[in-house]
Structure 1
Amino acid sequence: MRKWGPLTAVCLGTFMLLLDVTIVIVALPDIAGSLGASLSELQWVIDIYALALAALLLGAGAAADVTGRRRVYVAGTVLFALASLACGLATGPVMLIAVRGLQGVGGAAMFATTLSLLGASYQGRDRSVALGVWGAVSGAAAAIGPVLGGVLTQALDWRWIFLVNLPVSAAAVWMTVRYVPRTGGRGGQRVDWAGTAAFALFAGALTLAVVRADSVGWASTTTLSTLTVAVLALVAFVVVERRAAHPLLDLRLLRRPSFAAVMVGALAFNAAAFGVLPYTSIWLQTLMGMSPVRGGLVVLPLAVASFVVAAIGGRLLHGASPRLVIGGGLVLIGGGALAQSVLAADSGWAVLVPGFVLVGIGVGLLSPALAGAALASVPARNAGMAGGAVNTFRQLGYALGVAAFGTVVTSRMADSLRAVTGDARSAREAAHALAGGGADALRGRLPDEALHAAFAAGLDGAALAAGATGILAGLAVLLFLKPVRQPEGGTPGEQDKEQAAAGAR
């Protein structure tokens, strides 16, 4: 147990924090009914957590380098547990969104240290095994979230999707203190708080603009102003990083085609694989009449396929070309999303299963491969930065995917409903209510067939967008991710030793 104790401790925390990315999906209708949340508020319940992860991962990783990785991991787990308790006690949507953001802060501190803790604990083939298990856990956590969320919501209450984190957090802290070696910090290094703030402002403003664009218009003053803030924040981030003595992200790494390709793959991965699932879950429960458990079980083929492929692929694909694994995985995810764009007004849930299986296979391939490719595409001294960057881009992709595909869903719904309502404004209001789980309130005003047709049109449009995202990103990876012959920083054996030494600092 002592040999694999660090892996168990890290995987416990990873499973829990990534589970919370998607576990709320099946509970959205119950949350809307219990707290009176609107569609935009439901989107923020999902997005604020992923956004906090994306915005703070790099800063949390830098803080871990300064103060010690184990210390930051434990502190993040404790904060995550306290925020989960607050989520379970939330009395309104605004409070839930706020404490979900705090939960994301704790999750960022945990997630930022996972790869570096594993890199410092294992070398050689053991590291490949550890990354394979970690990848399987990562992929399965996000995929199984809707299933577990449905069970907890139906058997107990939606609040238990957060309260269940408390015993898991306690176990993760105990395992970490017992089995993960204590690591010191680098006393002479300072955290790049200016870069952290600039990146957080960029990610938040960009996501806010996309979430609100459908209701206020893409060309509106509000949307354009928010996008301008995002651009200025990104420019500020670039300026700060170029001048910082210890940058969050060495921008020179983006000049490496392989590193840039891995980041593109990470950004598209979570968006294409999981960005449409929240709206699919609302469709299953509010229009198809499924319980939270049945709605979650519909996604089970995705979860099973991802776990099996990641667990087996970590061993069988050891030494395989990351270009083929990552590029092929993204194409499979894109193809799986396209296979889901076949809904009609009278379609049942079974037509989605082949697409879910394809997406699950792609997720299983990508989860371990992305982590390994990120570490291999940079010098060993930048391993922690690369691990933080790939996880940052994954979560930012998910936040943007939920926001962007939500815009597609409501836009296509409004187009479908316009013929029934008679005017664009009423159609848009009905679309937002329908996408937010308000089908029951609309049934007295609009024909049931029209609601089914509108939701099917919305989901088909979002699935097409997700499919295009996955396939285009996969082609980019196949074109630009080059084989890693001899990364800077020494031979692979020397890199293992250097990375392990860095993790012990």
Structure 2
Amino acid sequence: MRKWSPLIAICLGTFLLLVDVTIVVVALPAIGDKFGAGYADLQWVLDGYALALAALLLGAGSLADRYGRRRTYLIGIGLFALSSLLCAVAPNEQALIAARILQGAGGAAMFATTVALLNVTYHGRDRGVAFGVWGAVNGAAAAAGPLAGGLLTEHFGWRWIFLVNLPICVAAVWFTVRSVAESKAPRAGRFDLPGTISFTVAAGAVTYGLIRAGEAGWTDTVALTAFAAGTAALLAFLAAELRSDHPMLDLSLFRRAPFAVLIVAAFLTQAAAFAYLPFTTVWLQQVLGNGPVDAGLVGALPMAVASLVVGAAAGRLLQRVSPRWTVGFGLLLIAAGDLMQARLDADSTGTALIPGLIVAGIGVGAVLPSLSSAVLGEVPRERSGMAGGALNTFRQLGFALGVAVFGTIFAHRVSDGHGQPAAFADGLNATLTVAAVVALVGGVLVLAVVRHHPVPASGPQAPAPSPTPAPSHA
């Protein structure tokens, strides 16, 4: 048991931070009813967390390499526990959104250290076992989130989806303090403060602009100002990374077309496969009258289970196939699944979504395990930590920006139809159609550009090597 205590500590934190991406989805209508919040505020309950997680992940990895991964992991758990409590007692939607942003910061500190901690703790066969279990926990978190959120919301109230985090955080701290050894990078570079700040501002401003445009229109002065600020911050980020001796993201990696396309594919996968689910939940609960449990069972669980089954059953086989096929055709399956769902009308029931969710889930199960090994196979081993951090960052950004874009489409169609059931169905159809186009574009890009098998011994089953001067991230 003592040998696997570090794995338990790391898996507890990983499960928490990933399940909190999706556990809130089925609780959104209940939160909206409690606070009288509109679509824009509900989008921020999701996006505040995802954006903080994405924007701070690379910077947190750099800090962990410099000051200690165990210390950073423990700080992340503490911040996650405190912010979960603040979420649970939030008196209004503004306080809840602020607490969710803080929760994302804690999640970033945890997520940025998980791979490195496992890598330095386990060796040989034990390392393979550890990363296999950790990968299964990643999949289980996606499957458990909607159902756990539905059960807690329906039987105890939405605040319990945050309160339940507290005892798990205590257990994670106990296991970490007792069993996880401290480790640092021997030659860690300086913390990239300009890059971290400019990247955070760029992501936040663009997302705010998208959500604001959905409310007030694309010519709204505030929305246009946010887009301008986001563009300026993005340019500042690019300039900071090009000039830095220790960038948190080495932009030269993107000169290799397959790497750049795979990162784009990760971004598009999260948007196309997951970012429409909040609006599916709104339709299931507010229009069809399903409870949170039924909304979780029908609206998200079929995809999560299909993805988990495919990833577990075919994981080894998929690793032997070129990512051109697994990622490319996986994205095409996601596109097909989205289109299968985009056939709703005023008389449709939730079961109409299930076949398309299963097909999309099969695509997700093919894409996600292959992406990790494919991305790491496109970079030198000394850049594997940074490449893994970039992959996770862009995945979370895809979800956050996808929610913002799809929310604009959905809200526009619903308002045009004066909130009638047919308008909700039309809004969801439009959202799913755009999601399908996003997945189709990603699939075509991968099939056109990525042409060779990834380098063996990369990916989750053969994790990043011991740290080097490059930051080592999750």
TM (normalized to structure 1)? 0.87
* Per-residue CA distance 1:282-332 (angstroms, 9 max, x = gap): 111111111111111112212211221222233333433222222222222
CA distance in 2, matches of 1:504, 1:477: 26
**Cross-structure match for 1:61:** 61
Q: 2:426 aligns with which of 435, 457, 460?
A: 457
User: What is the deviation of 1:121?
Assistant: 4.1
**Given the superposition, is the C-alpha separation of residues 474 and 3 from structure 1 closer, same or farther in structure 2, using an over 3 Å criterion?**
farther
How far, CA to CA, are the matches of 2:323 and 2:27 in structure 1? 36
1:501 offset after TM fit, Å?
A: 5.0
The aligned counterpart of 1:332 is: 333
Aligned-residue Cα RMSD (Å) equals: 2.5
Give the direction of change, closer, same or farther, for the CA distance of 1:250–1:295 in structure 2 (3 Å limit): same
How far apart are residue 124 of structure 1 and its match? 6.8
- Bigger Rg, structure 1 or 2: 1
Write the deviation string for residues 217-272 of structure 1: whole angstroms up to 9, x where unpaired.
21333222211111111110011001111101000001111211221111011111
Which residue does the alignment assign to 1:303? 304
**Counterpart of 1:94?**
94
- How far does the alpha carbon of each residue in 1:36-66 deviate from its partner, in whole angstroms, 9 at most, with x for none? 2222111111110001011111111111111
Per-residue Cα deviation, 1:431-477 (whole angstroms, up to 9, x for no partner): xxx5xxxxxxxxxxxxxxxx110000000000001111112112212
Q: CA deviation at 1:188?
A: 5.7
1:14·1:138 contact (CA, 8 Å) conserved in 2?
yes
CA contact (8 A) 2:324 2:452 kept: yes
Hey, what does 1:438 align to over in structure 2?
none
Structure 1 pair 25–228 and aligned structure 2 pair: CA distance change class (3 A): same
How many residue pairs end up in the alignment?
Answer: 469
Residue 220, structure 1, aligned to residue 220, structure 2: yes
Residues 101-500 of structure 1: pairs in structure 2 closer than 5 A: 101-122=101-122, 130-186=130-186, 189-298=189-298, 299-415=300-416, 417=417, 430=418, 434=419, 451-484=420-453, 499-500=465-466
Give the distance between the partners of 1:5 and 1:314, measured in 2 at CA.
Answer: 25
Q: Distance in 1 between matches of 2:429 and 2:66?
A: 47
In 2, Cα distance between equivalents of 1:372 and 1:54: 20
Q: Take 1:501 and 1:18, find their aligned partners in 2: how far apart are those partners?
A: 25
The alpha-carbon distance between structure 1 residues 372 and 133, as it changes in their structure 2 partners (threshold 3 A), is: farther
Q: Which moved more, 1:184-193 or 1:13-22?
A: 184-193
CA distance in 2, matches of 1:314, 1:179: 30
Q: Name the CA distance, whole Å, in 1 between partners of 2:441 and 2:321.
A: 22
Relative distance call for 1:8 and 1:336 in structure 2 (3 A) is farther
Q: Displacement, 1:386?
A: 1.0
Rounded Cα–Cα distance in structure 2 between residues aligned with 1:372 and 1:306: 17
CA distance in 1, matches of 2:463, 2:29: 50
Amino acid of the residue matched to residue 296 of structure 2? Answer: G
1:486 CA drift (Å):
5.5
Q: Measure the CA separation in 1 of the matches of 2:120 and 2:450.
A: 26
Structure 1 stretch displaced more, 9-18 or 465-474: 9-18
Amino acid at match of 2:116: S
Alpha-carbon distance in 2 for matches of 1:463, 1:202: 26
Q: Secondary structure at the match of 1:200?
A: helix
Q: Name whichever of 192-201 and 285-294 sits farther off.
A: 285-294
List gaps (5 residues or longer) in structure 2: none
Q: Deviations over 1:8-50 (max 9, x none)?
A: 3322212211111111111111111212222211111111000
- Percent identical pairs in the alignment equals 53
Contact kept? 2:276, 2:431, Cα under 8 Å: yes
More deviation in 230-239 or 188-197? 188-197
Q: Would the alpha carbon gap of residues 482 and 171 (structure 1) be closer, same or farther in structure 2, given more than 3 Å must change?
A: farther
1:14 and 1:137 in contact (8 A); partners too? yes
Distance across 1 between alignment mates of 2:155 and 2:110: 29
Letter in 1 for 2:68: G
What is the deviation of 1:117? 2.7
Alpha-carbon offset, residue 2 of structure 1: 4.9
Contact 1:116/1:383 (<8 A) preserved: no
Whichever residue aligns with residue 87 of structure 2, its letter is C
State the alpha-carbon separation in 2 of the partners of residues 121 and 366 from structure 1.
28
Question: Structure 1: which 5+ runs fail to align?
Answer: 418-429, 435-450
Q: Describe the shift of the 1:458–1:498 C-alpha distance in structure 2 as closer, same or farther (beyond 3 A).
A: closer
- 2:10 is the counterpart of 1:41: no
Q: Letter of the 1:464 partner, please give it.
A: T
Which one-letter code corresponds to 1:390 in the other structure? L
Q: Secondary structure at the match of 2:466?
A: helix
Opposite residue 307 of structure 2, the aligned amino acid is S
Higher alpha-carbon deviation: 270-279 or 327-336 = 327-336
Q: Is the 8 A contact 1:53 1:395 kept in 2?
A: yes
Q: Counterpart amino acid of 1:385?
A: M
What is the deviation of 1:355?
A: 0.9
